Structure 1
Amino acid sequence: MLFSLKSISKVVKYQVENNLSVEEFCAVLNESTLGERRPIDNPATMKGMVENAALIITARIDGKLVGVARSISDFVYCTYLSDLAVAVDFQKKGIGKELIRQTKMAIPKGKLILLSAPAAVDYYPKIGMTKHSECFYISEVSEIV
């Protein structure tokens, strides 16, 4: 499917879809390459990611899922946009930016925070997000010294 940038905004349907199926979620992650950095091969983890999300915004074209924004939030102070995925064939058409906008509109209070994929670091400032250099993370409790 090919869409021009001008016409795609007319056919993309954005909606809150907190009951998104794990299968569709995994499929769009794989189609976007985000699946390379997510535990797609662990169904229980993927199920938990979908079921425990505070907000899932989807982008669909003719019913096909082409993008998703999955967030965790307290709804008043901060929202962590954990997964932002747009299928490769639909990237660079404004869908990711609109998913971010829809997320912020759904949870307007507090800050919207995300960790960028290495290839997307330069994208977020272009759409108005502020880069933050003081971010830290830990994966395993055994890493605490």
Structure 2
Amino acid sequence: MTGRVEYRSDVRPTAAQYIDAARRSTLGERLPVDEPDLIQEALDRSDIVVTAWDGERLVGFLRAITDFRLICYLQELGVDADRQREGIGLALQVEMRALLGPRCKIRVSEAPGATGYYARHGYARHDRSWELLPGDPLV
């Protein structure tokens, strides 16, 4: 039996809590979960961190970088695999959007395991993004 989920944007999880939740979601495979200091720095430097708690257990999380007026980059959205399809991911996004200005766009890169998720929730495909990986030369 699961309890009532509480959504918070005023309290950030520790790196250990975030890593534990990431491992219980599909994001643990793509995040550097073996580097808690790096995860902590990412949390500390993020503009928005919204969390979903079932009691003391972190069951969902969202991390974003934004200027709050024009653009918001949704970096990570993860929900405990046992709690997916309960609306937690959507609720996290609603909480994030409430923090943004009325003209602020949200952009996200779809994770391999999330095919179709964002389209189902109103996002339009944006195919004009590029990526420069760490160590790749800027020429």
TM-score computed with the length of structure 2 as normaliser = 0.91
Partner residue of 2:98?
A: 105
| Match for residue 23 of structure 1 among 16, 24, 27 | 16
Q: Could you say if the C-alpha distance between residues 23 and 124 of structure 1 is closer, same or farther in structure 2, counting changes exceeding 3 Å?
A: same
Partner residue of 2:111?
A: 117
What does residue range 1-145 of structure 1 map to in structure 2 within 5 Å?
1=1, 11-109=4-102, 110-145=104-139
In 2, Cα distance between the equivalents of 1:84 and 1:19?
15
- The share of aligned pairs that are identical, in percent, is 29
Number of aligned positions between the proteins: 138
In 1, Cα distance between the equivalents of 2:115 and 2:85?
15
Distance apart, 1:39 and its partner CA: 0.8
Q: Which runs of 4+ in 1 moved over 3 A?
A: none
What SS class does the counterpart of residue 82 from structure 1 fall into? Answer: strand
In 2, Cα distance between the equivalents of 1:59 and 1:111?
23
TM-score computed with the length of structure 1 as normaliser = 0.87
1:55 maps to a residue whose letter is I
Distance apart, 1:17 and its partner CA: 3.7
* Structure 2: runs of 5+ lacking an equivalent: none
In 1, Cα distance between the equivalents of 2:16 and 2:99?
24
